[in-house]
Amino acid sequence: MARKLANPKRKKMNFMIDIGLVHQLKADCSSGERSDFVNEAIDQAFRMRNSRRAVEDIERLQKKYDLRVKNGEIVRILREFRYG
């Protein structure tokens, strides 16, 4: 599941999540695993968003500078990385 850090630097935060997610989190994760689970989920969400932005930037630059990449090879590779 989540990667455990030897000496995690963490900060307690207060935020709101949907009640359905609260029930699912309590049902699926023991109280000792919840922070790790949420940390990993947030990390994955940021990675996906950054990958999506990279693809969008490449596509925008290709159009702006009329760059032609054989069969969109760079974009295809980044999409494979993003979607697995």
Query: Could you report the per-residue pLDDT of 36-77, keeping only the tens digit for each?
Result: 999 999 999 999 999 889 888 888 888 888 877 676 787 787
Angle at 26 between CA 24 and CA 30, to 5 degrees: 130
> Is this prediction's pTM over 0.95?
no
Helix residue spans in the chain (DSSP H): 19-28, 34-64, 73-83
User: End-to-end CA distance of the chain, in Å?
Assistant: 18
The set of residues, in sequence order, having a beta carbon less than 8 Å from that of 43 and lying 6+ positions away, is none
Domain ranges of the chain: 46-84
Give the pLDDT score at 33: 94
Distance CA 34, CA 25 (A): 7
